[in-house]
Chains A and B, each alone.
Chain A
Amino acid sequence: MTNLLEPGPKLRRRYRAEKIFKRMGLSAIIASLCFVFFLFYTIISDGYSAFTQTYIEIEVSFNKDLFTDANISKADFPGLVKKSLLKMFPEVTKRQDKKLLYSLISPSAAYTMQELVEETPKLIGTTQKIWVLADDDVDMLIKGKYQRDVPESNRRLKDLQLKWIDRLTAEGMLEKKFNTTFFTSGDSREPELAGILGAAKGSLLTLLITLSLSFPIGVAAAVYLEEFAPANRWTDIIEVNINNLAAVPSIIFGLLGLAIFINFWGLPRSTPIVGGLVLTLMTLPTIIIAGRASLKSVPPSIREAALGIGASKMQTVTHHVLPLALPGMLTGTIIGMAQALGETAPLLMIGMVAFIVDVPGSFTDPSAVLPVQIYLWADSPERAFTEKTSAAIMILLAFLIAMNSLAVFLRKKFEIKW
């Protein structure tokens, strides 16, 4: 006779199995959560430093005899920068040392001067203190990404340069400042000059095309399939088709874009218009499926009531069903757009992997998009690009999280429990 209150060995085993299983489930979730945090931690810890950039203050005298030509851009600005540097470090005389000295400052210093003088020609003849960008190696050192204690031959910066940098820092002429360049310029080969504006603008143009095509088409297709389509073979084919397209690898859409939009229609390579078209085809199934789901959630009683008081089928849909389903469709569209924003593979196929410095101005200008920019930077030899890559990833993720939160917010706000 077993005691019912005292669990026997068999029951204990069953309870133990229960406990183990529950723990396994919990640890599975914790493992994936840990991974999310680990990923964010590595990217943020790598990338946050890209939001500041090292600047060096130099004293420049814009001598009148430099600007003899009426055209200011003809003046020797790089020479001006070099002269100013030599004036700050008069002890540097050897050719080799001079070269080391010049390499402390980014080549962009000359552009900075040029812009300054072109903006206010009054500067000519005066002496000014100007903050210019430091070279990426200096920047990496200041941010602690280079070690000082390795032998000189293993370092990108030599002992002499370290001495100069220390002197500049001590005199307050070398500072980390907020990196505005990163947000206001296009791609560059110099890490300190590289920015994401070009890629962000390219993404924006591409998404504009995607949105303005895929939203109306997607909504219309969803409405037709859910509300009007007769149950026949054709409808079935379309349905199966859409579900399949949603799961077709994105790279296949790139092959389609390459063969049809570029080779057959002759649209220009590497442009937002082709990218937008490819991404439209890619996101359409997502939008259609989400749209159908939200149409389905509108209770039939609404339709029956509308039909009952004499509305036509089309009136029922446009006046009653569609307005109720629209928030859900918007949510689906935003999620589809987020997917399109993060997509890279099909864009590689249509030539969007190119070095493009200018910020694109129209749908037919060559341009990069954010994820492709990340892919390109991940490939660049300069070490300082690693932090730029991580920073670009942070920006991209911020956009994606904002879009998805907007979708969640919309869903919460307009969700109707029937």
Chain B
Amino acid sequence: MKLKTIAAAGALSLLLCGPALAARDYISIVGSSTVYPFATVVAEQFGKTTGYKTPKIESTGSGGGFKLFCGGVGINHPDITNASRAIKSSEMEKCAENGVNDIVEVKIGYDGIVLAHSKSVAPLKLTRQEIFLALAKDVPDPKNPGKIIPNPYKTWNEINSNLPPTKIEVLGPPPTSGTRDAFVELAMETGADSFDVIKAMKKTDKEGYKALSQTVREDGAYVEAGENDNLIVQKLQANPAAVGIFGFSFLDQNSDVIQGSFIEDMPPTFEAIADGSYPVSRPLYFYVKKAHVDVIPGMKGYLDEFTSEKAWGEDGYLADKGLIPMPAAERKQYHENVAALKTLEMK
């Protein structure tokens, strides 16, 4: 009996010895899986070269990141959220509701969205109209262009006879992802605009237009593959017929096994995205809670590291990871914004 009591007391005391819940002395970052590889590299560099703790980064998708970020001010809420799209005004409002008023926006560079597939087949050559036809939930009837019908296309060659006769199977991100938002806006909406019926709706029926041009089919041709872009790469490698949607950096890292499809006759290359001739590219951002900058240790240092030339410059280590740098003037401007902690205006 006594032995056990002592053992139990010992075990209990061991447990209670630990410090009372310590203060948070590290930066907490959430957000986009596209920015995640860049943010982690900066975080690691920051942790190794300064005395501060390495920031903790969770990959939650841009939308999920904003939700957490806008949850409020305080140590239980993240300090920074990464995003592969700009913050929406609805999200700003949500932030303001919870007392997050001062947000600093930092644009870090560009990323192309690629439709990639296995190297074992010839590269797809798509237009944005074809992408829309392949992925939208409802499309104009090919026989009667005035009528909207549920998407009838099952194989690529039903859309355009020059395309291969394989099943349409696209692995892409869920709506939490900024990649999805940007893809829908840049590729599908533009593709939808090429139909007069839909374009006409833009003026008359804004809601209907949005639903038509942005809703992705749910009949199995578009597979929501989560935020784990790397697993998609491996699945593409295994299945030459499947096409994956993700950021250019993943294509860059895996360029020996997968290749990007041509969009509007432009291949997704570093140069084409940097000069804007590849049509589906978007800027990447992170957002900082100003209220946290002075109270969480290391915030200033992390911001300095991220916006330094050796990180995001043309020869910086982020470019090696596949980030497409901004022009020098833009970099300078954002660097100054960060140094001055210039906050976003409510639109």
List the interface of chain A (C-beta within 8 A of B): 73, 78, 99, 103, 107, 111, 114, 146, 150, 154-156, 188-190, 208-209, 212-213, 215-216, 219-220, 266-268, 270, 273, 314-315, 318, 322, 351, 353-358, 362-364, 366, 378-383
Residues of chain B lying within 8 A (CB to CB) of residue A155: 256
Question: Which of A216, A314, A366, A383 contacts B26, CB < 8 Å?
Answer: A366
Contact (A358, B15) CB under 8 Å given A189-B40, A364-B22, A366-B26: no
Contact (A353, B43) CB under 8 Å given A154-B256, A212-B14, A318-B1: no
Residues of chain A lying within 8 A (CB to CB) of residue B230: 378-381
Contact (A188, B256) CB under 8 Å given A351-B58, A381-B233: no
Residues of chain B lying within 8 A (CB to CB) of residue A266: 76
Most B CB contacts (10 A, CB to CB) among A188, A266, A351 go to A188
Q: Sorted from nearest, which 3 A-B pairs have the closest CB atoms?
A: A357-B54, A381-B253, A212-B11
B37–A381 CB distance below 8 A: yes
Question: Which of B48, B76, B231, B233 contacts A111, CB < 8 Å?
Answer: B48
Complex formed: what's the CA distance from A356 to B56 in Å? 6
5 A–B contacts from the bound complex (CB under 8 Å): A353-B59, A355-B43, A355-B59, A357-B48, A364-B21
Residues of chain B lying within 8 A (CB to CB) of residue A208: 14
Residues of chain B lying within 8 A (CB to CB) of residue A362: 18-19, 22
A78–B310 CB distance below 8 A: yes
Complex formed: what's the CA distance from A29 to B190 in Å? 59
Complex formed: what's the CA distance from A52 to B338 in Å? 42
A363–B18 CB distance below 8 A: yes
Chain B interface residue number, banded: 35 or more
Taking CB as reference atom, which chain B residue is nearest A208? B14
Contact (A364, B19) CB under 8 Å given A107-B317, A156-B256, A189-B44: yes
Most B CB contacts (10 A, CB to CB) among A78, A208, A353, A366 go to A366
Complex formed: what's the CA distance from A379 to B40 in Å? 14
B202 interface hit (Cβ, 8 Å):
no
B308 CB to closest chain A CB (Å) equals 12
B83 CB to closest chain A CB (Å) equals 17
Residues of chain B lying within 8 A (CB to CB) of residue A355: 36, 40, 43, 56-59
Residues of chain A lying within 8 A (CB to CB) of residue B59: 353, 355
Contact (A213, B15) CB under 8 Å given A99-B315, A379-B230, A380-B230: yes
B7 interface hit (Cβ, 8 Å):
yes
Complex formed: what's the CA distance from A78 to B1 in Å? 63
Residues of chain B lying within 8 A (CB to CB) of residue A216: 4, 7-8, 11
A358–B53 CB distance below 8 A: yes
B317–A314 CB distance below 8 A: no
Residues of chain A lying within 8 A (CB to CB) of residue B57: 354-355
B89 interface hit (Cβ, 8 Å):
no
Residues of chain A lying within 8 A (CB to CB) of residue B250: 381
Contact (A354, B229) CB under 8 Å given A103-B320, A364-B19, A382-B253: no
B56–A366 CB distance below 8 A: yes
Which residues in window 1-34 of B have CB below 8 A to A? 1, 3-4, 7-8, 11-12, 14-15, 18-19, 21-22, 24, 26
Residues of chain A lying within 8 A (CB to CB) of residue B24: 268
A295 CB to closest chain B CB (Å) equals 14
Residues of chain A lying within 8 A (CB to CB) of residue B12: 212
B15–A212 CB distance below 8 A: yes
Complex formed: what's the CA distance from A358 to B76 in Å? 20
Taking CB as reference atom, which chain B residue is nearest A146? B256
B240 interface hit (Cβ, 8 Å):
no
Complex formed: what's the CA distance from A66 to B240 in Å? 53
Complex formed: what's the CA distance from A273 to B315 in Å? 42
B47–A357 CB distance below 8 A: yes
B15–A379 CB distance below 8 A: no
Complex formed: what's the CA distance from A362 to B21 in Å? 10
Residues of chain B lying within 8 A (CB to CB) of residue A382: 253
Residues of chain B lying within 8 A (CB to CB) of residue A150: 256
B255 interface hit (Cβ, 8 Å):
yes
Residues of chain B lying within 8 A (CB to CB) of residue A107: 45, 317
> Beyond the given A111-B49, A353-B59, A358-B47, could you list 7 further A-B residue pairs with CB under 8 A, ordered by the A residue number?
A188-B44, A189-B40, A212-B15, A353-B58, A354-B57, A381-B229, A383-B253
Residues of chain A lying within 8 A (CB to CB) of residue B56: 270, 354-356, 366
B228 interface hit (Cβ, 8 Å):
yes
Residues of chain A lying within 8 A (CB to CB) of residue B255: 154, 156
Most A CB contacts (10 A, CB to CB) among B7, B14, B231, B256 go to B256
Complex formed: what's the CA distance from A39 to B83 in Å? 39
B54–A358 CB distance below 8 A: yes
Complex formed: what's the CA distance from A114 to B51 in Å? 13
Residues of chain B lying within 8 A (CB to CB) of residue A111: 48-49
Residues of chain A lying within 8 A (CB to CB) of residue B40: 189, 355
B43–A357 CB distance below 8 A: yes
Taking CB as reference atom, which chain B residue is nearest A382? B253
Taking CB as reference atom, which chain B residue is nearest A212? B11
Complex formed: what's the CA distance from A270 to B58 in Å? 10
Complex formed: what's the CA distance from A154 to B49 in Å? 35
Taking CB as reference atom, which chain A residue is nearest B252? A381
Residues of chain A lying within 8 A (CB to CB) of residue B49: 73, 111, 114
B41 interface hit (Cβ, 8 Å):
yes
Most A CB contacts (10 A, CB to CB) among B8, B36, B48, B229 go to B48
A185 CB to closest chain B CB (Å) equals 10
Which residues in window 147-175 of B have CB below 8 A to A? none
Complex formed: what's the CA distance from A209 to B18 in Å? 11
A215–B310 CB distance below 8 A: no
Contact (A189, B37) CB under 8 Å given A215-B11, A382-B253: yes
Complex formed: what's the CA distance from A78 to B316 in Å? 11
Taking CB as reference atom, which chain A residue is nearest B11? A212
Complex formed: what's the CA distance from A383 to B253 in Å? 8
Complex formed: what's the CA distance from A314 to B2 in Å? 12
Taking CB as reference atom, which chain B residue is nearest A223? B4
A357–B44 CB distance below 8 A: yes
Taking CB as reference atom, which chain B residue is nearest A156? B256
Contact (A154, B119) CB under 8 Å given A216-B11, A355-B43: yes
Taking CB as reference atom, which chain A residue is nearest B33? A379
Residues of chain A lying within 8 A (CB to CB) of residue B337: none
Residues of chain B lying within 8 A (CB to CB) of residue A78: 310
Complex formed: what's the CA distance from A111 to B18 in Å? 33
B98 interface hit (Cβ, 8 Å):
no
B254 interface hit (Cβ, 8 Å):
yes
Residues of chain A lying within 8 A (CB to CB) of residue B7: 216
Residues of chain B lying within 8 A (CB to CB) of residue A99: 315
Residues of chain B lying within 8 A (CB to CB) of residue A378: 230-231
B324 CB to closest chain A CB (Å) equals 15
Residues of chain A lying within 8 A (CB to CB) of residue B310: 78
Residues of chain B lying within 8 A (CB to CB) of residue A268: 21, 24
Residues of chain A lying within 8 A (CB to CB) of residue B320: 103
